[in-house]
C-alpha cells in the first residue's frame, strides 16, 4: 500500500488563488537570506530545504517546470544533512515547506512529530509511476515519499586487477594490501560487514555472537586498509589519483568519475547487499502550504520529469519499466531486496556501542 489515503481531508489547490507570476525559474537563495522573512504561509513562494550540490540542482530543474505552470516560486536552501535539517525546522516553524531527509531523518523527525501526513490520493503520479515495492519501504509510514536510494558498495580500478569483483570478500584479497580505502562511519561499516557475513543488520543489535562476528569481519577488512575517508569526495580522489585500487563509495560519485574519463573505474553492489542511504521528500508539520507542496510533488512525479531528475542527480528513481538511462546508473538494482535496509528503531540504540567497536578495530 502507498499509505492510508484517508488520513486527513484537504482542500484542493485553487490555482487561480496562487497564480502570481514571478517570472518563472527557481530562486536559489542562501539559508540566512530566507529564514525569518515573511513566514511560511505565503501562497506565492514555497521554501525547499535540500542537500545542496548536484542533488539540489536536479531538484531545482524539476521544480522549475511546476513554477512555470503554477506561478509559484520555489526558494532553495541547503544544509548538511538530517541533523541540520531538523534543527532548522525546529527553530524556524513554518519557514520550510518541503525537505529531503534520509530514512534516518524520517525516523528521527517522526519521533518529534515534525512531519505532516502525506495524502497519497493527491499524488496519483507517484502512485502510477513509482514501483510499489520501493515506495512501500517499511520506514515510510504515511509521512514521506520515497525518491531514490544511494548504495554504498565499492569502486575499483579494473586496470589494476584481473579479479572479477562481486563480493565483500573480494576486497580482502592479499593483492589489495594497503590499497583499500573505507568509509570512516561506524553504522555503515557495521552494516556492510554484516552483509558480507550474510546477516541482516537488524538482527545484530542485542546478539553478542553476531556482534563478535561483525567485529572479526571489520578487522579482516581493516587489514588491507590504508585509510578511512570522512567525505565522499576523498574516496573519489583516492581512485582518481591511484592511491586506492578499491574504495568504498557511492555509485553516483563513481558515475561522475567515469564521466570525467576514468572509464576503468567500475562500481560494485556486492552480493549480500550494501549499506543504503535514501533520499526522500517530507513536509514539515509546521508548513502552512501543504496543499501546494502536494501539488508540486505530484507534478514532479510525472514520468518524464522524474526520469530526467534521476539522470541529473545520478541515482536511480525506481519508476515503472525503468528506461535505459536509469538502468545504466551504477546504483541501479532490480529489487530493494538486493540492498540492506536499516530499521532505525532497532539499530539506533546500538549505534554508540558500534562506534566504540569501530574505533577499537581501527586502533588494531
Same domain membership, residue 285 and residue 214: no
Domain co-membership, 156 together with 120: no
Q: For residue 207, give the CATH number of its domain.
A: 3.40.190.10
What are 171-222's pLDDT values in tens digits? Answer: 999 999 999 999 999 999 999 999 999 999 999 999 999 999 999 999 999 9
Q: What pLDDT, in 10s, does the model give residues 271-301?
A: 999 999 999 999 999 999 999 999 999 999 9
Task: Give the span between the Cα atoms of 112 and 100, in whole angstroms.
Answer: 17
Which among 70, 73, 77, 80 is positioned nearest to 96, based on CA atoms?
77
Amino acid 120: pLDDT: 97
Query: Does 242 map to a domain?
Result: yes
Which segment of 41-45, 148-152, 246-250 scores lowest on mean pLDDT? 41-45
Helical segments of the chain, H only: 15-18, 31-34, 53-70, 82-91, 103-111, 124-129, 132-135, 186-196, 208-222, 232-241, 251-259, 290-300, 303-313, 324-327, 344-347, 351-362
Question: pTM to 2 decimals?
Answer: 0.86
User: 249 and 180: one domain?
Assistant: yes
pLDDT surpasses 60 at 135: yes
Query: What was the pLDDT predicted at 161?
Result: 97
Question: Is 70 exceeded by the pLDDT of residue 31?
Answer: no
36 in helix, strand or coil? Answer: coil
Residue 22 has pLDDT above 90, yes or no: no
What pLDDT, on a 0 to 100 scale, did the predictor assign at position 33?
A: 35
CB atoms within 10 A of CB 197: 16
State whether 108 and 248 are in the same domain.
Answer: no
Q: At 117, list the grid cell.
A: 501526513
Judgement on whether residues 160 and 68 belong to the same structural domain of the protein: no
Domain membership of residue 13 (yes or no) is no
Nearby residues of 128 by Cβ (< 8 Å), 6 or more positions away: 320
- 3 occurs within a structural domain: no
Residue 115 sits at φ, ψ, to 5 deg, of -105, 140
122 with 194, same domain?
no
Residues 142 and 64 in one domain: yes
Domain identity same for 103 and 165: no
Asked if 51 contacts 13 with a C-beta cutoff of 8 angstroms, the reply is no
**CA distances in angstroms from 277 to 79, 138, 148, 292, 330, listed in the order given:** 17, 14, 9, 27, 14
Pair 54, 115 in one domain? yes
Mean pLDDT for the chain overall: 89
296-349 tens-digit pLDDT: 999 999 999 999 999 999 999 999 999 999 999 999 999 999 999 999 999 999
Q: Is residue 286 part of a domain?
A: yes
137, 157: one domain? no
Say what the pLDDT of residue 7 is: 32
Q: How many domains does the chain have?
A: 2
Q: Indicate whether 239 and 196 sit together in one domain.
A: yes
pLDDT band at 23 (very low <50, low <70, confident <90, very high): very low
Q: Are residues 85 and 208 in the same domain?
A: no
Residue 188: alpha-carbon gap to chain centroid: 13
Domain encompassing residue 69: 45-150+277-335
Residue range 61-80: average pLDDT? Answer: 97
pLDDT of 26 over the 50 cut: no
pLDDT band at 61, cuts 50/70/90? very high
**Could you tell me which of 228, 277, 230, 237 has the C-alpha nearest to residue 257?**
237
Tell me, yes or no, whether 19 lies in a domain. no
Amino acid at each position: 500500500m502507498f499509505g492510508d489515503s484517508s488520513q486527513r481531508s484537504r482542500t484542493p489547490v485553487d490555482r487561480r488563488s496562487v497564480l502570481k507570476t514571478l517570472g518563472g525559474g527557481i530562486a536559489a537563495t542562501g539559508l540566512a537570506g530566507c529564514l525569518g522573512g515573511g513566514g511560511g504561509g505565503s501562497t506565492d513562494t514555497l521554501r525547499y530545504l535540500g542537500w545542496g550540490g548536484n542533488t539540489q540542482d536536479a531538484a531545482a530543474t524539476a521544480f522549475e517546470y511546476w513554477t512555470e505552470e503554477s506561478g509559484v516560486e520555489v526558494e532553495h536552501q541547503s544544509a548538511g544533512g538530517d541533523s541540520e535539517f531538523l534543527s532548522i525546522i525546529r527553530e524556524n516553524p513554518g519557514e520550510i515547506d518541503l525537505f529531503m531527509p534520509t530514512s534516518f531523518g524520517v525516523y528521527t523527525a517522526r519521533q518529534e512529530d515534525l512531519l505532516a501526513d502525506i495524502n497519497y490520493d493527491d499524488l496519483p503520479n507517484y502512485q502510477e509511476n513509482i514501483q510499489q515495492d520501493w515506495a512501500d519501504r517499511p520506514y515510510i509510514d504515511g509521512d514521506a515519499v520515497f525518491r531514490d536510494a544511494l548504495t554504498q558498495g565499492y569502486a575499483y580500478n579494473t586496470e589494476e586487477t584481473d579479479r572479477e569483483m562481486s563480493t565483500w570478500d573480494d576486497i580482502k584479497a592479499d593483492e589489495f594490501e594497503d590499497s583499500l580505502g573505507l568509509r570512516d562511519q561506524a553504522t555503515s561499516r557495521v552494516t556492510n560487514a554484516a552483509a558480507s557475513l550474510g546477516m541482516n543488520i537488524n538482527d545484530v543489535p542485542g546478539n553478542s555472537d553476531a556482534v563478535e562476528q561483525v567485529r572479526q569481519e571489520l578487522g579482516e577488512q581493516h587489514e588491507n586498509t590504508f585509510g578511512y575517508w570522512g567525505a565522499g569526495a576523498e574516496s573519489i580522489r583516492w581512485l582518481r589519483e591511484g592511491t586506492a585500487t578499491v574504495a568504498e563509495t557511492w555509485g553516483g560519485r563513481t558515475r561522475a568519475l567515469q564521466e570525467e574519463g576514468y572509464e576503468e573505474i567500475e562500481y560494485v553492489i556486492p552480493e549480500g547487499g550494501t549499506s543504503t542511504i535514501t533520499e526522500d521528500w517530507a513536509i514539515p508539520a509546521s508548513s502552512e502550504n501543504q496543499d501546494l507542496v502536494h501539488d508540486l510533488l505530484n507534478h514532479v512525479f510525472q514520468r518524464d520529469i522524474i526520469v530526467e531528475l534521476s539522470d541529473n542527480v545520478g541515482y536511480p528513481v525506481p519508476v515503472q519499466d525503468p528506461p535505459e538511462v536509469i538502468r545504466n546508473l551504477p546504483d541501479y538494482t532490480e529489487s530493494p531486496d538486493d540492498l540492506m535496509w536499516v530499521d532505525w528503531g532497532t539499530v539506533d540504540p546500538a549505534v554508540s556501542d558500534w562506534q566504540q567497536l569501530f574505533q577499537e578495530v581501527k586502533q588494531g
